[in-house]
Structure formats: structure tokens, C-alpha cells
């Protein structure tokens, strides 16, 4: 089989060479050069549009942090803990559906189609959330719940659509620095969304003279529509990556073979993401509530200011993880990050009664715990999920991993209030420490140890595996469409029949 493939490759290379010689006329060279420039410009558009738009995802994910405090102050009787959890979870449920659906869509229909659709969903959901209204206050909260679910579908879809696009574009544009570049246009905007959302909230709150709460949260919801619209032009202009045009599987996806090849990696990325989101999301959403309970008799503004400090302390972990990911290794960085949950979670949880009497010290340690999450799993899960899987199924596997993570976030958010009520605030941090230990074990046994090699290498190994197992369909689209066994070399066949 390998010999036949090698002969086929040589004959194909000879044919391609002679064809290329015949096309060495002036017009042909000009068209080829324009195409290359267009693709490079599109890659730049993709990286920029993915990164900037993910600020909107971070903004939407963190918007309820202060909105929960504000709505509780405005509607103390109606905005119960059950309604607060429902509104917060609406975004998560929408994100889970969006991650799975858009993950499949961006593999079948292309990255560009998926990205444009997610932008529309975020804007429509944001408009509906801003206009939340009902015959009763409870009816208004139900409209807000539905609107936040629509926003969640869009922001959830951004994870596989934008992240896979950014990874593939960075692989062609800055191959030696793909890891750091990917982190800085994905997890950094998402993490920056926390302090950014609080900053916007503070500006609007002060503009409204720390009153008119209904105006404050409606304006904050409405501003969330601006960020995706600001890069919509660039998203319309972007092209699908060369990797996608070469490796897309448009029909008859061999999901059984995919599971056989990637089962271990999927357990690793799905399991670690579940644990990470189980800890970080409820601690993000309800951090404003936690801080307000620590800052006795504090105003909404004081709570927001401490929340801003918390978000700022969590940011350096993103930069440090980006700097060290190639030197220390992605897998090692992720285990170090989970260790931070263990250390800081136990420090805060075991000394909760004493540490909360010194609010600055509590916020610093709380921020360091969040920063360790950004440093490790926050940075590495997206990077590893974009690198571990072949282009043809990258969106699907990335979306599934992120969706399992958001399921963990939904469960964590749902369980947060009962844990706080029945066990006390300290146990929210002790459980984070326990999750840190489990996260280290899952990462050690199941997460692949990748080195940042060219994504084409993993594509060819997967292609060779499909050929070796009898799958014989076409891959790619347009001018790069070809049968799956075209270009499979013997050395790849020899080493590519098993993952990890």
C-alpha cells in the first residue's frame, strides 16, 4: 500500500511540475501572486477579527457578574437566587448548544459562514436583552432569560468558529509563534472581558449618578452589541484557511474512525475543560456576590471597584502562560495551572473567616487563584483543542470539548448557591482545590503532549489513518479538493495509524 502511494505521489508530482511550467506566463504568475496576497491578508483579517470579537464573548460571559448585584439591589424581592441562577445559566445553555451546532457547521459549511452567523446571533440576542420587558417583572426576567440564551448560542459558537480560524491562520502567518499568537487572540480577549465589562459598568453607573439601575443594565446589555459589529466587515471579507480548503470533510464524516483515533485526546480535553469551567465560571459569575458579602455595608460602586481589581489580578496569568507555553510545554503548563487551584483554593477555603476580614488580602488571593486558571487550563485548553485534532474535524472536536466544559460551568453555577447556603462560602474554594487535583490527573493521563508542530503534519497523519482503515472519500474544497488518498506518503502511513 505504501509503495503504491509513493509511486502515485511521484507521478502526481511530475504531472504537477509539467503543468506548472506550462503556466509560467505573465498572466498566470500575476493571478497566482494576487491569490497568495489575498490569502495572507485574509489570514491577518481572521486573526484580528477573531481576537477582537472574542472580547465581546468575554464581555457577555462576565456581564452578569455586576448585573446580578444590580438587579438584586433594584428588585430585592423578585430577583431571587433561583431567578439569578436561571438568567446566568441561560447564557451557558445557549453556549453549549452553540458550541456543538456551530462546531459541526464550521466543519461542514466553512469557518467564514459559521463566524458570520454567530455575529448575527450575538447582536440579535443583545438587542432583545436590552429591550427586556413583560406584563410583570417575572415576565421581564423570562424575556431576559430567552435573550441571554440567544446571546449564548452566538458566543458559544464563537469558540469553535473563531478559535479554529485563528489557529489555522496563525499556522500559516506566524508558524513558529502559533501558540502564543493563538493565546493572545483567544484567551486574552476572553479574560480581558471581565475587567472590561466591569469598567463599562462603572462608567455607565457613574453617568447615571449611581441610580437609575434599569438604565444602567440596559445600556450595558446594549453596548455588548457594538463589539461584534465593529469587526463584521473583516469577517465578511475573510476567506477559509488553506488548511481548511485542503482538509475539509464535507460529507460522509467517518465519526467511528474519528472516535477510535481521538478517544484519548477527547477524554483529556473534555474532562479538563469540564473541571476548569466548573470552577472558574461560577466563581466569575458570582464573584460580585461573594465580594459584596465580604464588603459589609458596601455600595454597588465599591463592590464593582473590588471586582475590577480581582479581574486585573487575573490577567497576568494569561501573558505568562503565552510566554512559557513553547518553552515549558503545553501539558506541563496546564498541570501547573491546576496546581494553583489546589494551593490558593486551600489557602482561601481553610482560612476563610480570617482572610475575609482583610478585604484586599482576600481579593489578592482570589485573583491569584483566577490567574493560575488563566495561566494553565484557560490558556492551554483552547490551544490544545485547536492543535490536537485534524482540520476536517477540528471544529467538531473543539466544539464538543468546549460544550462539555460549559456543561461543567452550568452544573457549577447551579450547584454554587446550594453549596454556599448549606456548606458556606469556604467550601466553594475547597471544592475548587479538589477540582485542581482531579484536573492534574486528567491532564497527566489523557491530554496529549504537543510541541507546536505544523498542523499539516497532524492532518496528514489523520489522512493516512483514514486511508489505512478503508475510508475513501474526498477531502478539501474548491481548487484544493482531492481524494483522501492523494498525497499520503509511506512514512506518514507507517507512523500515522494510531493517535498519541
**CATH number of the structural domain spanning residue 313:** 1.20.1250.20
pLDDT of residue 12: 43
- Residue 23: DSSP 8-state: T
| 110-127 average pLDDT score | 89
**Residue 356 is assigned to a structural domain of this protein:** yes
The residue segments making up the domain with residue 292 are: 25-495
Give a yes or no: residue 480 inside a domain: yes
**DSSP line for 228-246:** HHHTHHHHHH----HHHHH
What domain count does the chain have?
A: 1
Q: What is the pLDDT of residues 202-261, one digit of tens each?
A: 888 888 877 788 888 899 888 888 888 887 887 887 777 888 888 888 888 899 999 999
Confidence check: pLDDT of 267 > 60: yes
Of residues 147 and 217, more confidently modeled: 147
Residue 12 falls inside a structural domain = no
Confidence (pLDDT) at 352? 83
Give the torsion through C-alpha atoms of 330, 92, 111, 179, to 10 deg.
Answer: -20
**pTM as predicted:** 0.82
Is residue 316 assigned to a domain? yes
Predicted local distance difference test score (pLDDT) of residue 442: 96
**Mean of pLDDT over the chain:** 81
465 assigned to some structural domain: yes
Q: What is the pLDDT of residue 335?
A: 96
| pLDDT band at 92; cut points 50, 70, 90 | confident
- Residue 50 counted as domain residue: yes
- What are the φ/ψ torsions at residue 203 (nearest 5 degrees)? -60, -45
6 in a domain, yes or no?
no
In a domain, 177, yes or no: yes
Measured CA distances, 400 to 10, 229, 255, 379, 385 (Å)? 39, 27, 13, 17, 10
> What does 314-377 look like in DSSP terms, one character per residue?
HSHHHHHHHHHHHHH-HHHHHHHHHHHHHHHHHHHHHTHHHHTTSHHHHHHHHHHHHHHHIIII
The residues near 112 (Cβ < 8 Å, ≥ 6 apart) are 235, 238, 239, 240
Alpha-carbon span 439 to 447, nearest angstrom: 10
Task: Give the pLDDT confidence of 17-48 residue by residue, as tens digits.
Answer: 333 333 333 333 333 444 666 667 767 777 77
Three-point CA angle 93, 96, 97, nearest 5°: 90
Amino acid at each position: 500500500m505504501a509503495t503504491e502511494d509513493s509511486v502515485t505521489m511521484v507521478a502526481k508530482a511530475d504531472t504537477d511540475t509539467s503543468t506548472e511550467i506550462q503556466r509560467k506566463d505573465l498572466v498566470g504568475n500575476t493571478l497566482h501572486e494576487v491569490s497568495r496576497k489575498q490569502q495572507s491578508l485574509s489570514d491577518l483579517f481572521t486573526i484580528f477579527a477573531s481576537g477582537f470579537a472574542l472580547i465581546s464573548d468575554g464581555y457577555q460571559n462576565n456581564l452578569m457578574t455586576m448585573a446580578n448585584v444590580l438587579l438584586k439591589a433594584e428588585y430585592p424581592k423578585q430577583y431571587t437566587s433561583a431567578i439569578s441562577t436561571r438568567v446566568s445559566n441561560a447564557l451557558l445553555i445557549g453556549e453549549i448548544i452553540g458550541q456543538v451546532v456551530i462546531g459541526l457547521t464550521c466543519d461542514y459549511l466553512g469557518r467564514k459562514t459559521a463566524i458570520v452567523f454567530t455575529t448575527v446571533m450575538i447582536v440579535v440576542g443583545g438587542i432583545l436583552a436590552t429591550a427586556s420587558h413583560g406584563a410583570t417583572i417575572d415576565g421581564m426576567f423570562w424575556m431576559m432569560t430567552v435573550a441571554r440564551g440567544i446571546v449564548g448560542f452566538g458566543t458559544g459558537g464563537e469558540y469553535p468558529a473563531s478559535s479554529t480560524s485563528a489557529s489555522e491562520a496563525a499556522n500559516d502567518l506566524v508558524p513558529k509563534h502559533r501558540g502564543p499568537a493563538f493565546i493572545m487572540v483567544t484567551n486574552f480577549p476572553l479574560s480581558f472581558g471581565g475587567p472590561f465589562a466591569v469598567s463599562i459598568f462603572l462608567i455607565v453607573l457613574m453617568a447615571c449618578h449611581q441610580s437609575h439601575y434599569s438604565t444602567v443594565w440596559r445600556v450595558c446589555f446594549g453596548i455588548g452589541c457594538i463589539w461584534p459589529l465593529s469587526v463584521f466587515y473583516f469577517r465578511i471579507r475573510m476567506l477559509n484557511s488553506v488548511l481548511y480548503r485542503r482538509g475539509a470533510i464535507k460529507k460522509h464524516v467517518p465519526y467511528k474512525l474519528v472516535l477510535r483515533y481521538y478517544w484519548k485526546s477527547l477524554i483529556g480535553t473534555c474532562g479538563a475543560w469540564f473541571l476548569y469551567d466548573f470552577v472558574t465560571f461560577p466563581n466569575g459569575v458570582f464573584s460580585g456576590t461573594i465580594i459584596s458579602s465580604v464588603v459589609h455595608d458596601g455600595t454597588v460602586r465599591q463592590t464593582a471597584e473590588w471586582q475590577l481589581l480581582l479581574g486585573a489580578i487575573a490577567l497576568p496569568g494569561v501573558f505568562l502562560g503565552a510566554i512559557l507555553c513553547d518553552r515549558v510545554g503545553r501539558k506541563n503548563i496546564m498541570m501547573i495551572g491546576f496546581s494553583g487551584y489546589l494551593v490558593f483554593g486551600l489557602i482561601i477555603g481553610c482560612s476563610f473567616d480570617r482572610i475575609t476580614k482583610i478585604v484586599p488580602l482576600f481579593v489578592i488571593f482570589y485573583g491569584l487563584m483566577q490567574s493560575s486558571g488563566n495561566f494553565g487550563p484557560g490558556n492551554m485548553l483552547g490551544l490544545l483543542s485547536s492543535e490536537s485534532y485534524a482540520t476536517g474535524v477540528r471544529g467538531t472536536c473543539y466544539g464538543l470539548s468546549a460544550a462539555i466544559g460549559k456543561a461543567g460551568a452550568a452544573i457549577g453555577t447551579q450547584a454554587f448557591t446550594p453549596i454556599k447556603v448549606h456548606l458556606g462560602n469556604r467550601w466553594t474554594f475547597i471544592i475548587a482545590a479538589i477540582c485542581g487535583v482531579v484536573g492534574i490527573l486528567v491532564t497527566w493521563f489523557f491530554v496529549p503532549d504537543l510541541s507546536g508542530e505544523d498542523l499539516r503534519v497532524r492532518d496528514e497523519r489523520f489522512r493516512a489513518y483514514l486511508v489505512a482503515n478503508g475510508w475513501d472519500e474526498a477531502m478539501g474544497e474548491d481548487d484544493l479538493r482531492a481524494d483522501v488518498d492523494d498525497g499520503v506518503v509511506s512514512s506518514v502511513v507507517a507512523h500515522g495509524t494510531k493517535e498519541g
